[in-house]
Amino acid sequence: MVKYPAGSLTNYSQDQTTLFKPKKNNHRKDVVFSDRGMNLEQQINESNKFYLLEELAVVHKKPTPVQIVKVDYPKRSRAVIKEAYFRQASTTDYNGVYKGYYLDFEAKETKNKTSFPLKNFHEHQIIHLSRCLKQQGICFTIIRFVTLDRYFVTPASFVIKAWKAKNKSSMTLAELEKNSIEIKVGFRPTLPYLDAVDQFISKVKLSK
Amino acid sequence: MVKYPAGSLTNYSQDQTTLFKPKKNNHRKDVVFSDRGMNLEQQINESNKFYLLEELAVVHKKPTPVQIVKVDYPKRSRAVIKEAYFRQASTTDYNGVYKGYYLDFEAKETKNKTSFPLKNFHEHQIIHLSRCLKQQGICFTIIRFVTLDRYFVTPASFVIKAWKAKNKSSMTLAELEKNSIEIKVGFRPTLPYLDAVDQFISKVKLSK
């Protein structure tokens, strides 16, 4: 039934075999195991893998956009990109589908303890979130306060408003507490952000 | 109101200024102007830009996934990627949001005249389309018969079924005619594939 491309393991198979392979045990004893010193991107990627394999949602991080200039094709070896440049992205990092809804979000970390600096969001991200909102996507940000070990899932509408406000350089912790759904790190998934999405969807349904 | 990143034009601004700039006039006189010798990817990208600027849909092509190994940071110049490798994608090339619906599709060309070879679809694309279908996304393929100058928008459910069928190596033109919505090249957008999507959405609504 399945037509494998000749001689190559698919990404899918790799996902399945490596997903829960134990990592090199270099975490300190005072670190919660489920956290394993991952950064926010790793936490979200692991959560997305979990959601994917459990058939709960299909969300992927977009690859870094790269302009490829020169590629070598060595004999008996795979192609090597020898010259390339980073291009500016035109979207957020993550999108996908969940229960018929389009999801789109950006994830950011800060070491601050009392506020999140708005300059961490780039104009193209704000524009993209606005456009997706107009198309009735479920759009949000995930902000991690590293020092506080707190995670906020915030509707894009609030973030866009704050970003566009004159003389406003950050969202305070109090504002985020008031306008977000706070989530806690778990084991499977690492970061259960779909719990917050479920609440956004309930609100959308109520308003219809 | 708008916080521009220092010294950089955003992608968005570039889009707006270059989108409808006339291209170098090297098309032959017997070529339809709206077509301009573009390949299918270019036709879809132009259509997506049109849909984006008209605020009709937000659909982007995903960047080619690349594993970056070595980057040089020359003085007074931008970073150069000196060693990188192509990675296998785990999704289709295009996704986005339209009227609250999640869209996901793959685009393929063939020079054949009577059938489309199924080996042109890779396993990871078929798996990804199946997963998105389960999440109630609007999933399809756009197939261009280059020699015939015909374009078919085919529901992913049909393509997946054909791909999984034993002893079936291609979809015949007749099958595609029967199971697709055929679209014609236009001027703006170049390839009005959302017309076909509208029909898919009507069917989804009827079945609810």
Q: How many domains does chain A have?
A: 1
Are the beta carbons of B80 and A85 separated by less than 8 Å? yes
Is the CB of residue A42 less than 8 Å from the CB of residue A35?
Answer: no
Q: Give the Cα-Cα-Cα angle A108, B101, B141 (nearest 5 degrees).
A: 105
Looking at the domain assignment, is residue A8 inside a domain?
A: no
Q: Nearest residue on chain A to B88, judged by CA atoms?
A: A11
Chain B stretch 171-200, residues whose beta carbon is closer than 8 A to a beta carbon of chain A: none
Residue A112 maps to which CATH number?
3.40.1350.10
Query: B32: which residues sit within 8 A by CB, 6+ positions away?
Result: B185
pLDDT the model gives residue A207: 80
Task: Please check the confidence at residue B20 and state whether its pLDDT lies above 80.
Answer: no
Q: Is the pLDDT of residue A74 over 60?
A: yes
Across A35-39, A86-90, A178-182, which has the greatest mean pLDDT? A178-182
Is A13 inside any structural domain? no
Residue A194 has what pLDDT?
98
**Residue A11 located in a structural domain:** no
Q: Is B58–A137 a contact, with Cβ atoms under 8 angstroms apart?
A: yes
Query: Residue A175 class from Cβ within 10 Å (0-12 exposed, 13-18 middle, 19+ buried)?
Result: middle
**A67 annotated as belonging to a binding site for a ligand:** no
pLDDT of A23 over the 70 cut: no
The burial class, CB within 10 Å (0-12 / 13-18 / 19+), for B92 is buried
Banded model confidence at residue A17, pLDDT cuts 50, 70, 90? very low
| Interchain CB distance below 8 Å, A88 and B8 | yes
- Report the residue of chain B nearest A129, measured CA to CA: B58
Chain A contact for B33, CB < 8 A?
A: no
Q: Which residue has the tokens 């199946």?
A: B130
Choice among A25-34, B1-10, B35-44, B142-151 with the minimum mean pLDDT: B1-10
Pairwise CB contact (< 8 Å): A124 & B81: no
Q: Is residue B11 part of a domain?
A: no
Instruction: Inform me whether the pLDDT recorded for B190 exceeds 90.
Output: yes
pLDDT of residue A205: 84
* Position B185 pLDDT exceeds 70: yes
Among B5, B97, B127, whose Cβ lies nearest the Cβ of A102? B97
Nearest to A66 among B5, B66, B78 (CB): B66
Whether the predicted pLDDT of A6 surpasses 90: no
Q: Assign residue B157 a region: left if phi > 0, alpha if psi is -120 to 50, beta otherwise?
A: alpha
Distance CA B58, CA B48 (A): 7
Mean pLDDT score across all residues of chain B:
87
A91: contact with B, CB 8 A cutoff: yes
Would the pLDDT of B115 be above 80?
Answer: yes
DSSP 8-state secondary structure symbol assigned to residue B91: S
| Digit-coded pLDDT (tens) for A43-65 | 999 999 999 999 999 999 999 99
**Does pLDDT of B152 surpass 80?**
yes
pLDDT for res A36: 58
**Does A88 fall in a domain?**
yes
Q: Using CA atoms, how far apart are residues A46 and A100, in angstroms rounded to an integer? A: 22
Instruction: Tell me the count of A-B CB pairs closer than 8 A.
Output: 162
The predicted pLDDT at position B36 comes to 58
The answer to whether position A45 is within a domain reads: yes
Contacts of B134 in chain A (CB under 8 A): 55
Mean of the pLDDT values across residues B130-144? 98
Which one, of A4, A105, A19, lies nearest residue A54 by Cα? A19
Put simply, the answer to whether A97 touches B104 (Cβ < 8 Å) is yes
Q: Which of B80, B100, B166 sits opposite A1 (nearest CB)?
A: B166
- Domain assignment present for residue A15? The answer is no
At residue B24, does pLDDT exceed 80?
A: no
Identify the residue among B81, B95, B127, B138 best suited for mutation to test binding to A, counting A beta carbons within 10 A and taking the highest. B81
What is the extent of the structural domain holding B62? 31-206
Buried b (16+ CB within 10 A) or exposed e, A176-200: beebbbebebeeebbbbbbebbeeb
B130 in any annotated domain: yes
* Side chain identity, residue A82: K
- Confidence band (pLDDT; 50, 70, 90) for B93? very high
* CA gap A71, A96 in Å, rounded: 31
N-to-C CA span, chain B: 44
SS3 assignment, position A172 = strand
Task: With cut-offs at 50, 70 and 90, classify the pLDDT of residue A35.
Answer: low
Task: Determine what percent of chain A is predicted with pLDDT higher than 90.
Answer: 77
Please state, in angstroms and rounded to a whole number, the distance separating the CA atoms of residues A192 and A199.
Answer: 12
